[in-house]
A and B are shown apart, each in its own frame.
Chain A
Amino acid sequence: MRASLKRLFRKIGEINHRYREPRIAMSRGVKASLLFLRIYLLFLVCLMVYKFILLLN
């Protein structure tokens, strides 16, 4: 079990290393799109947390 987990984490490390740098050129449009996505996801996470708090109450 421990060996399998070790292998898995090593594999994840390899994947992280392989895809460390984005290959797509970071033009202004790409940067703006990714920034939009970050804000959008943050907004959704906040909504979910708010809903979770409402459910708890």
Chain B
Amino acid sequence: MNFFSKLYYKLRKMWKVIQLYLVIAGPGIVVMVADNDAGGITTYAATGAKYGYHLIWFLLLLIPVAYYVQEMTVRLGAVTKRGLAEAIFDGFGATWGWFSLVDLMLVNWLTLVTEFIGMTAALHIFGVPPWLTVTGVVLLMAIIVLNGRYWTWEKIALLFCALNLIYIPGAFMIHPSVSDILKDGLIPNFPGGFNGQLFFFLMANIGTTIAPWMLFFQQSAVVDKGMQEKDIPWGKFDTLLGSALTVVVAIFIVIVTGTTLSGTDIESAGQAAEHLMQTDRYVGTFMAIGLFDAGLLGAICISLASSWAFGEIFGWAHSLNQNIKQAPWFYASYFFALITSGLVVLIPGAPLVLITLFVQVIAVTLLPAALVFLILLLNDRPTMGDYRNSGWQNLIGGFIVAAIIVLSSLYGISVMFPNLFQ
């Protein structure tokens, strides 16, 4: 009897902990899963197709990389109750603030275009014309944000995050060899030796793991959600869970393309889905649905990151808890970015490939700056108090930030000069 009462008490306690987490859960998981956007899916699909399972170990290394960077935004947002754009203006003055804001707007808008490219390519496989995809996505996103509650928006976003897991059953359907995955994937190795092309793929995987909009988005989401200092441990756990989830999804994409398209050069996730359709209709369908979902989730988060940042600086009402009458400029900027980027995809002969490449180049002008500002702000004792970075956090975070700066910069440069690492 005593055993059962103890067990009941423990289960009840555990359920309460889960309930508490479900209240706090959101920003970390949403931002991390949204990181697997259309561009990310393309990178992972191409990595699997090119190198099979051999780079899975490298993807696992990206869990702490993503976690250590993003958890800093949780602490900064919960303590200062400000988004990163406002924190940069306040901390480093108007010049650096304008640089970050304008750069963020530009890179976010260009990334939104790439999300629409991914979504139209995904639905094109099912015969949906691009104009219908763009119109449908804009309408769907209007319904999601115009309900006037952050909570509802977040839960819908989490639903789309769950759909991102579609690659997992997709991988099981093609019956990959588990022993091959463990043998080739978990032991660090460089297939074909450490050459320029492999280095390009490693840089591309790092580049897709941390994007500038993620830093701005998560901090603003933490503020809009109303997280307090006491919620930081849960926010950190949420971020860790999100980091693990995003890498797990990436690994399953690599397994899908590594099993079925090994040795193929893939230029886009849409192309991978079309190839997979010929091999296995269901897996190809899953790939296409996953690509659409990834683009949609990316678009939901990226357009919000821009609107939040604008609202913070211009002093407009900028919360999802406010309706369109209370925050007209917030929603106007949101739909302006969304509609214009969607329209670009519909322009016949638009330089979409150039835009896709340009995103990487512009991103490297903002990412290092945003990361350096983040570290400096996290070391600001008067603001952060007990929540400032410890020596260890500075050491680990500093090392990761330095590595990201070097690798993402090299990636951006290699996009400009493709023969550099060949």
B91 touches which of A11, A22, A48 (Cβ 8 Å): A22
Q: Which residues of B lie under 8 Å from residue A30 when comparing CB positions?
A: 376
Q: Which residues of B lie under 8 Å from residue A41 when comparing CB positions?
A: 365, 369
Q: Is the interface of A mostly helix, strand, loop or mixed?
A: helix
**In contact, A47 and B416 (Cβ under 8 angstroms):** yes
**In contact, B361 and A24 (Cβ under 8 angstroms):** no
A37 touches which of B368, B412, B416 (Cβ 8 Å): B368
**In contact, B89 and A15 (Cβ under 8 angstroms):** yes
Q: Which residues of A lie under 8 Å from residue B409 when comparing CB positions?
A: 40, 44
Q: Which residues of B lie under 8 Å from residue A37 when comparing CB positions?
A: 368-369, 372
Counting chain B residues whose Cβ lies within 8 A of the other chain, the interface size class is 20 to 34
**Is B284 at the interface (CB under 8 A from chain A)?**
no
A15-34 residues with Cβ-Cβ distance < 8 A to B are 15-16, 19-25, 29-30, 33-34
Q: Which of B92-100, B142-150, B256-264, B342-350 touches A?
A: B92-100
A28-55 contact mask (Cβ, 8 Å, vs B): 1 or 0: 0110011011001100100110010000
Number of A positions contacting B (CB below 8 A) = 22
Q: Report which A residues bind B (CB closer than 8 A).
A: 11, 15-16, 19-25, 29-30, 33-34, 36-37, 40-41, 44, 47-48, 51
**In contact, B372 and A24 (Cβ under 8 angstroms):** no
**Is B300 at the interface (CB under 8 A from chain A)?**
no
Q: Which residues of B lie under 8 Å from residue A20 when comparing CB positions?
A: 93-94
Q: Report which B residues bind A (CB closer than 8 A).
A: 89-94, 96-97, 313-315, 361, 364-365, 368-369, 372, 375-377, 380, 409, 412-413, 416-417
B90 touches which of A11, A23, A48 (Cβ 8 Å): A23
Most chain B beta-carbon contacts within 10 A, residue among A15, A29, A48: A15
Q: Given the complex of chains A and B, what is the CA–CA distance between A34 and B315 in angstroms?
A: 26
Q: Is the interface of B mostly helix, strand, loop or mixed?
A: helix
Q: Given the complex of chains A and B, what is the CA–CA distance between A40 and B409 in angstroms?
A: 10
B377 touches which of A11, A15, A24, A40 (Cβ 8 Å): A24
**In contact, A15 and B416 (Cβ under 8 angstroms):** no
**In contact, A15 and B94 (Cβ under 8 angstroms):** yes
Q: Given the complex of chains A and B, what is the CA–CA distance between A36 and B377 in angstroms?
A: 16
**In contact, B94 and A24 (Cβ under 8 angstroms):** no
Give 6 A-B contacts (CB < 8 Å), ordered by A residue: A11-B315, A24-B91, A24-B376, A44-B365, A44-B409, A48-B416
**In contact, B372 and A36 (Cβ under 8 angstroms):** yes
Task: Give the 4 A-B residue pairs with the shortest CB-CB distance, closest first.
Answer: A22-B93, A19-B94, A24-B91, A19-B89
Q: Given the complex of chains A and B, what is the CA–CA distance between A30 and B380 in angstroms?
A: 10
**In contact, B314 and A33 (Cβ under 8 angstroms):** no
**In contact, A15 and B93 (Cβ under 8 angstroms):** no
Closest to A24 in B: B91
Q: Which residues of A lie under 8 Å from residue B416 when comparing CB positions?
A: 47-48, 51
Most chain B beta-carbon contacts within 10 A, residue among A20, A23, A24, A34: A24
Q: Which residues of B lie under 8 Å from residue A16 when comparing CB positions?
A: 94
A15 touches which of B313, B361, B372, B413 (Cβ 8 Å): B313
Q: Which residues of A lie under 8 Å from residue B413 when comparing CB positions?
A: 47
